[in-house]
Amino acid sequence: MSGIGEPTDPTRLTARGMARALRAGDLSARELAEAHLDLIERQDGQLHAWLSTDREGALASANGADALIGDARRGANAGDADALAALPPLLGIPVALKDLVLQRGRSATAGSRILEGFISPYDAHITERLREAGAVVLGRTNMDEFAMGSSTEHSAWGPTGNPWDLSRVPGGSSGGSAAAVAAFHTPLAIGTDTGGSIRQPAALTGTVGIKPTYGRVSRYGIVAFASSLDQIGPFGRDTRDAALLLGAIAGRDERDSTSAPIPVPDYAAELPESDDEAAGLLRGARLGLPRQYFVKGMEPGVEARVREAVAALETAGAEVVEVDLPHTDYGLATYYIIAPAEASANLARYDGIRYGRADRGRDVLGDYLATRGAGFGAEVKRRIMLGTYALSAGYYDAYYLKAQKVRTLIKSDFDKAFESVDALVAPTSPTVAFPLGARLDDPVAMYLSDACTLPVNVAGLPGISVPCGFSEDLPVGLQFIGKPWDEGRLFQLGRAYEAITAGADWRAREPSGLSDLPS
């Protein structure tokens, strides 16, 4: 492979390392796709990160990428110095799609039996962007049904394991995407984050995940959960890879009225290659540490790793000050009024008449009730009932309207904090990955998994989770929270933290749950 010290196994390369190897002719996009697809075939029976793979489509895309790279290399040899540099950075790079991203001609179930058999007639905006970038879509990853969950145990197709310990959850709802990246099945993956569903599984699997500012990425062609909270974002194994993927999918889309007409920076180009230069980004940075994010029930090992990370940031030159976000304690209740209310409206379209599952043989009402009764899982039904109640006559003002007012107060807390700090630093998850089944009978305990991530969605802000060590031999995540449209700053902070911890022993660790499986 091209590059000093890079792995010889192509699945162990970063996306940037893959791009260098492709352009140098040390590796073909087809070889790269086959290596990942073969690894998925050998290991996913026990991991269950994937709902489907598309070998034929992936190899066709890889062949197209190889043709473009071959033309560019011939141009470079003929004296066109810019031929290779002009290629899209994701050309030939494998990527996974969470199973709520529409892809023309492919199934999209959103983890639910009510969409079993549905074939998308069009591409999501981000699918179009990935095609234009020349990325190779390997397949579709498992998820909590309609993105409602924090463990990927609420999938109609069965749970996903955590690559660090297959008896534990990978987080959710984007647990399949996070697990696939952690297991080296793909260097990049797409997730969605409604209340922490990118950042929390990133923390639990030792990967990098970012939730962009609401409106940074178009939601066109994404199966909706809660429309004022949902946002699409990337997973990668490091900050620079995640920056590459966000740069490819972000931007204005006229088909989504909430998509912002704000220019997208070249996030990856703004990140230093040198660790010394990256560490220098911390000098003079002023970071806020919200006292409310060290929540009751936080595991001691998690708190220890986060406080050690904060101390490392200070040692590297950052100023860390404690800040007060007084309405944080209301974030969980606010979210669990707004999100179910919006879900109850969005999921009304699944009626057994227009598309998806249809249980027929009765009158119209009987068919409707039978279809929804059999098609939706328990957690989805629970949230539809909560949301319908909150929106019902006599309760709208007491619940939904009040929650929207508290949402404004939560956003105001962040605005006030950002008057004196550049960004916030906090835990991502209060715990490490918990055992499969441990919280299925206690929905409130499951909901508390997202206590540190929910306020960011309520306020529409960007947040990134990066690995910061281990507790009980399981990954811990550190979260940076930024001002609106300031994803570039979050990538810089994540990159700087990677730089100052580059020599840490824990950086060399790989998932142990897959150690006995074929590699």
Q: How far apart are CA 211 and CA 486, in angstroms?
A: 11
To the question of pTM greater than 0.75 for the whole model, the response is yes
Per-residue confidence (pLDDT) for residue 359, from 0 to 100 = 87
Name the band, by pLDDT with cuts 50, 70 and 90, for residue 6.
low
Q: Which amino acid is at 432?
A: V
Q: How far apart are CA 492 and CA 272, in angstroms?
A: 8
Q: How far apart are CA 202 and CA 217, in angstroms?
A: 19
The angle at the Cα of 514, spanning 512 to 519, to the nearest 5 degrees, equals: 125
Per-residue confidence (pLDDT) for residue 492, from 0 to 100 = 98
Would the pLDDT of 3 be above 50? no
CB contact at 8 A, 102 and 222 = yes
Name the band, by pLDDT with cuts 50, 70 and 90, for residue 514.
confident
Per-residue confidence (pLDDT) for residue 443, from 0 to 100 = 81
The string of pLDDT tens digits covering residues 127-171 is 999 999 999 999 999 999 999 999 999 999 999 999 999 999 999
Per-residue confidence (pLDDT) for residue 410, from 0 to 100 = 98
- Token pair listed for 197: 């569903």
Q: 451 vs 320, which has greater pLDDT?
A: 320
3-state class (DSSP) for residue 310 = helix
Name the least confident of 88-92, 217-221, 361-365. Answer: 361-365
Name the least confident of 15-24, 71-80, 333-342, 471-480. Answer: 71-80
CB contact at 8 A, 495 and 273 = no
Q: How far apart are CA 495 and CA 487, in angstroms?
A: 12
Q: How far apart are CA 368 and CA 321, in angstroms?
A: 55
Per-residue confidence (pLDDT) for residue 519, from 0 to 100 = 64
The angle at the Cα of 166, spanning 146 to 444, to the nearest 5 degrees, equals: 45
CA-CA distances (angstroms) from residue 508 to 16, 199, 511? 18, 21, 10
Domains of the chain: 10-328+406-508 (3.90.1300.10), 331-404 (no CATH)
Per-residue confidence (pLDDT) for residue 112, from 0 to 100 = 98
Q: 205 vs 394, which has greater pLDDT?
A: 205
Per-residue confidence (pLDDT) for residue 63, from 0 to 100 = 98
Nearest to 275 by CA among 509, 498, 489, 13: 498
Name the band, by pLDDT with cuts 50, 70 and 90, for residue 295.
confident
Per-residue confidence (pLDDT) for residue 2, from 0 to 100 = 36
The string of pLDDT tens digits covering residues 431-458 is 999 999 999 988 878 878 899 999 999 9
Per-residue confidence (pLDDT) for residue 5, from 0 to 100 = 54
Name the least confident of 224-228, 285-289, 361-365. Answer: 361-365
Per-residue confidence (pLDDT) for residue 4, from 0 to 100 = 43
Q: 517 vs 365, which has greater pLDDT?
A: 365
Q: Average pLDDT of 192-221?
A: 98
Count Cβ neighbours within 10 Å for each residue of 348-387 and write b for 16 or more, e otherwise: eebbbeebbbbbeeeeeeebbebbbeebbbebbbebbebb
Q: Average pLDDT of 456-474?
A: 98
Mean pLDDT of the chain: 95
Per-residue confidence (pLDDT) for residue 244, from 0 to 100 = 98
Q: How far apart are CA 166 and CA 369, in angstroms?
A: 37
Q: Which residues carry out catalysis?
A: 98, 173, 197
Name the band, by pLDDT with cuts 50, 70 and 90, for residue 353.
confident
Per-residue confidence (pLDDT) for residue 417, from 0 to 100 = 98
Per-residue confidence (pLDDT) for residue 296, from 0 to 100 = 86
CB contact at 8 A, 120 and 104 = yes
Rama region for 48: left / alpha / beta (φ>0; ψ in -120 to 50; rest): left
Name the least confident of 83-92, 221-230, 283-292, 351-360. Answer: 351-360
Element (H, E) at 203: helix 199-205
